[in-house]
Amino acid sequence: MRRVGVLTGGGDAPGLNAVIRALVKRLQAEKIEVIGFRNGYKGLVQGEFQVLHGQAISGILPRGGTILGTSNRDNPFNFHGEDRFEDCVRHAEALGLECIVVIGGEGSLAVASMCVERGLPMIGVPKTIDNDLHATDQTFGYDTAVSIATEALDRLHTTAESHHRVMVLEVMGRYAGWIAVASGLAGGADAILIPEIPFTLEAVAAKVNQRREAGKPFSIIVVAEGARTPEGELVVKQTVAGSHDPKRLGGIGQYVATRLEAMTGLESRVTVLGHLQRGGSPTAYDRILASRYGIAAAELAINRTYGEVVVLQNGIITHVPIKDVGGKVRPVPVDGELVRAARAIGISFGDA
Amino acid sequence: MRRVGVLTGGGDAPGLNAVIRALVKRLQAEKIEVIGFRNGYKGLVQGEFQVLHGQAISGILPRGGTILGTSNRDNPFNFHGEDRFEDCVRHAEALGLECIVVIGGEGSLAVASMCVERGLPMIGVPKTIDNDLHATDQTFGYDTAVSIATEALDRLHTTAESHHRVMVLEVMGRYAGWIAVASGLAGGADAILIPEIPFTLEAVAAKVNQRREAGKPFSIIVVAEGARTPEGELVVKQTVAGSHDPKRLGGIGQYVATRLEAMTGLESRVTVLGHLQRGGSPTAYDRILASRYGIAAAELAINRTYGEVVVLQNGIITHVPIKDVGGKVRPVPVDGELVRAARAIGISFGDA
Amino acid sequence: MRRVGVLTGGGDAPGLNAVIRALVKRLQAEKIEVIGFRNGYKGLVQGEFQVLHGQAISGILPRGGTILGTSNRDNPFNFHGEDRFEDCVRHAEALGLECIVVIGGEGSLAVASMCVERGLPMIGVPKTIDNDLHATDQTFGYDTAVSIATEALDRLHTTAESHHRVMVLEVMGRYAGWIAVASGLAGGADAILIPEIPFTLEAVAAKVNQRREAGKPFSIIVVAEGARTPEGELVVKQTVAGSHDPKRLGGIGQYVATRLEAMTGLESRVTVLGHLQRGGSPTAYDRILASRYGIAAAELAINRTYGEVVVLQNGIITHVPIKDVGGKVRPVPVDGELVRAARAIGISFGDA
Amino acid sequence: MRRVGVLTGGGDAPGLNAVIRALVKRLQAEKIEVIGFRNGYKGLVQGEFQVLHGQAISGILPRGGTILGTSNRDNPFNFHGEDRFEDCVRHAEALGLECIVVIGGEGSLAVASMCVERGLPMIGVPKTIDNDLHATDQTFGYDTAVSIATEALDRLHTTAESHHRVMVLEVMGRYAGWIAVASGLAGGADAILIPEIPFTLEAVAAKVNQRREAGKPFSIIVVAEGARTPEGELVVKQTVAGSHDPKRLGGIGQYVATRLEAMTGLESRVTVLGHLQRGGSPTAYDRILASRYGIAAAELAINRTYGEVVVLQNGIITHVPIKDVGGKVRPVPVDGELVRAARAIGISFGDA
Is position A274 annotated in a ligand binding site? Answer: no
Q: What is the pLDDT of residue B79?
A: 95
Q: 10 Å Cβ neighbour count for C30?
A: 12
Contact D69 A161 (CB under 8 A): yes
Residues C26 and C87 grouped into a single domain: yes
Of chain D, the end-to-end C-alpha distance in Å amounts to 63
Pairing of strands D3-8, D100-104: parallel
Which stretch of DSSP H or E encloses residue C230?
none
B157 contact A CB<8A: yes
Q: What is the pLDDT of residue A245?
A: 42
Contacts of B among chains (3+ CB pairs under 8 A): A, C
Which of A155, A165, A167, A238 to mutate: most D Cβ within 10 Å? Answer: A155
Burial readout D252-285 (b: 16 or more C-beta within 10 A, e: otherwise): bbbbbbbbbbebbebbbbbbbbbbbbbbbbbbbb
d(CA A278, CA A130): 10
In a domain, B259, yes or no: yes
Cα distances from D287 to residues D17, D143, D182, D292, in angstroms, run 9, 10, 19, 9
d(CA A162, CA A159): 5
In a domain, B286, yes or no: yes
- Ranges under pLDDT 50 in chain A: 237-249
Q: What is the CATH number of the domain that holds D299?
A: 3.40.50.450
Confidence check: pLDDT of B327 > 90: no
Q: How many domains does chain D have?
A: 2
Contact A275 D163 (CB under 8 A): no
d(CA B245, CA B115): 34
Residues C74 and C203 grouped into a single domain: no
Nearest CA in chain A to B288: A186
Nearest-CB residue to B284 (from A150, A216, A337): A150
| E strands in C145-213 | 166-171, 191-193
Q: What is the pLDDT of residue D248?
A: 41
Residues D229 and D252 grouped into a single domain: yes
- A269 contacts on D by Cβ (under 8 Å): 274-275
Range of the structural domain that residue C147 is part of: 143-277+333-344
CA distance C314 to chain B (A): 31
Residues B249 and B219 grouped into a single domain: yes
Confidence check: pLDDT of C47 > 80: yes
C268 three-class SS: strand
d(CA D132, CA D194): 13
- Ranges under pLDDT 50 in chain D: 237-249
C316 contact D CB<8A: yes
- Opening angle at CA A100, ends A94 and A103, nearest 5: 145
Q: What is the CA radius of gyration of chain C?
A: 22
D162 contact C CB<8A: no
Q: What is the pLDDT of residue C246?
A: 38
d(CA B127, CA B139): 6
Is position A105 annotated in a ligand binding site? Answer: yes
| CA nearest to D98, candidates D15, D166, D34, D3 | D3
Residues B161 and B302 grouped into a single domain: no
Catalytic residues of C: 130
CA distance B25 to chain A (A): 5
What length is written for chain A? 352
Phi, psi (deg, nearest 5) at residue C6 = -150, 145
Catalytic residues of A: 130
Nearest CA in chain D to C343: D26
Residue A314 CA, chain-centre distance (Å), reads 20
Indicate the DSSP class of residue A293.
H
For residue range C257-309, list pLDDT tens digits in order.
999 999 999 999 999 999 999 988 999 999 999 999 999 999 999 999 999 99
Q: Which of residues 12-31 of A touch D (CB under 8 A)?
A: 12, 16
Contact C315 D315 (CB under 8 A): yes
Q: What's the mean pLDDT when you consider all of chain C?
A: 93
d(CA D297, CA D303): 10
Q: Is B133 exposed, middle or buried (0-12, 13-18, 19+ CB in 10 A)?
A: buried
d(CA A147, CA A144): 5
Q: What is the pLDDT of residue B245?
A: 42
Q: What is the CATH number of the domain that holds D221?
A: 3.40.50.460
d(CA D122, CA D133): 19
Do the beta carbons of residue B28 and residue B39 sit within 8 Å? no
Residue B116 CA, chain-centre distance (Å), reads 24
Catalytic residues of D: 130
Residues B191 and B164 grouped into a single domain: yes
Confidence check: pLDDT of C240 > 50: no
d(CA A25, CA A23): 6
A107 three-class SS: helix
Contact D275 A167 (CB under 8 A): yes
d(CA D331, CA D197): 10
Residues C194 and C235 grouped into a single domain: yes
Contacts of D among chains (3+ CB pairs under 8 A): A, C
Q: What's the mean pLDDT when you consider all of chain B?
A: 93
Q: What is the ipTM of this complex?
A: 0.94
In a domain, D52, yes or no: yes
Q: Which stretch of C247-256, C313-322, D171-180 has the lowest confidence by average pLDDT?
A: C247-256
Tell me the count of B-C CB pairs closer than 8 A.
117
Is position C107 annotated in a ligand binding site? Answer: yes
What length is written for chain C? 352
Indicate the DSSP class of residue A37.
E
In a domain, B326, yes or no: no
Cα distances from A45 to residues A20, A36, A86, A87, D267, in angstroms, run 20, 13, 8, 6, 21
Establish how many alpha carbons lie within 13 A of residue B242's alpha carbon, considering only the half-sphere containing its beta carbon.
6
A102 three-class SS: strand
d(CA C130, CA C179): 7
- C167 contacts on B by Cβ (under 8 Å): 275
Nearest CA in chain A to D257: A248
For residue range C139-192, list pLDDT tens digits in order.
999 999 999 999 999 999 999 999 999 999 999 999 999 999 999 999 999 999
d(CA A256, CA A205): 10
- C148 contacts on B by Cβ (under 8 Å): 155
Residues C216 and C301 grouped into a single domain: no
Q: What is the pLDDT of residue B239?
A: 45
Nearest-CB residue to A154 (from D164, D271, D280): D280
Contacts of A among chains (3+ CB pairs under 8 A): B, D
CA distance B241 to chain C (A): 9
For residue range C6-27, list pLDDT tens digits in order.
999 999 999 999 999 999 999 9
Q: What is the pLDDT of residue C73?
A: 80
Which of D155, D254, D256 to mutate: most A Cβ within 10 Å? Answer: D155
Residues B250 and B133 grouped into a single domain: no
For residue range B190-246, list pLDDT tens digits in order.
999 999 999 999 999 999 999 999 999 999 999 999 999 987 755 554 444 434 343
- B282 contacts on C by Cβ (under 8 Å): none
C33 contact D CB<8A: no
Phi, psi (deg, nearest 5) at residue D7 = -150, 155
B301 three-class SS: helix
In a domain, B132, yes or no: yes
A280 contact B CB<8A: no
In a domain, C323, yes or no: no
Q: 10 Å Cβ neighbour count for C176?
A: 23
Residue type for position D162: S
A275 contact D CB<8A: yes
| CA nearest to C183, candidates C208, C154, C211 | C154
Measured N-to-C along each axis, helices C201-213 and C252-264 cross at an angle, to the nearest 10 degrees, of 50
CA distance C277 to chain B (A): 8
Tell me the count of A-B CB pairs closer than 8 A.
119
Phi, psi (deg, nearest 5) at residue C279 = -100, 175
Which of D148, D185, D220, D222 to mutate: most C Cβ within 10 Å? Answer: D185
| CA nearest to B282, candidates B65, B109, B33, B40 | B65
Q: 10 Å Cβ neighbour count for D242?
A: 9
Is position B276 annotated in a ligand binding site? Answer: yes
Nearest-CB residue to A26 (from B54, B298, B345): B345
D250 contact A CB<8A: yes
- C243 contacts on B by Cβ (under 8 Å): 241
d(CA D348, CA D339): 10
Establish how many alpha carbons lie within 13 A of residue B19's alpha carbon, considering only the half-sphere containing its beta carbon.
33
For residue range C50-66, list pLDDT tens digits in order.
999 988 999 999 999 99
d(CA D18, CA A283): 30
d(CA A34, CA A95): 10
What length is written for chain B? 352
In a domain, B231, yes or no: yes
Q: 10 Å Cβ neighbour count for C206?
A: 17
d(CA B96, CA A174): 49
Q: Which of residues 59-98 of A touch B (CB under 8 A)?
A: 59, 61-62
Contact A284 B147 (CB under 8 A): yes
D223 contact C CB<8A: no
Confidence check: pLDDT of C247 > 60: no
In a domain, C350, yes or no: no
To the nearest 5 percent, what fractions of chain B are helix, strand and coil? 40, 20, 40
What length is written for chain D? 352
Which stretch of DSSP H or E encloses residue C71?
none
Dmax (CA) for chain D in angstroms is: 72
Is position A128 annotated in a ligand binding site? Answer: yes
Contact A285 B186 (CB under 8 A): yes
d(CA B135, CA B140): 14
Q: Model-level pTM greater than 0.80?
A: yes
Nearest-CB residue to B284 (from A147, A337, A344): A147
Contacts of D339 (CB under 8 A, 6+ apart): D181, D197, D332, D333, D349
Residue type for position D144: T
Residues A205 and A339 grouped into a single domain: yes
C272 contact B CB<8A: yes
Residues C166 and C266 grouped into a single domain: yes
| CA nearest to A115, candidates A132, A97, A128 | A97
**% of chain B beyond a pLDDT of 70:** 95
Residue type for position D229: T
Full 3-state SS string of chain D: CCEEEEEECCCCCCCHHHHHHHHHHHHHHCCCEEEEECCCHHHHHHCCEEECCCHHHCCCCCCCCCCCCCCCCCCHHHECCECCHHHHHHHHHHCCCCCEEEEECHHHHHHHHHHHHCCCCEEEEECCCCCCECCCCCCCCHHHHHHHHHHHHHHHHHHHHHHCCEEEEEECCCCCCHHHHHHHHHCCCCEEEECCECCCHHHHHHHHHHHHHCCCCCEEEEEECCCCCCCCHHHHHHHHCCCCCCCCCCCHHHHHHHHHHHHHCCCEEEEECHHHHCCCCCCHHHHHHHHHHHHHHHHHHHCCCCCEEEEEECCEEEEEEHHHCCCCECCCCCCCHHHHHHHHCCCECCCC
Which of D275, D278, D283 to mutate: most A Cβ within 10 Å? Answer: D275
Residues D263 and D285 grouped into a single domain: no
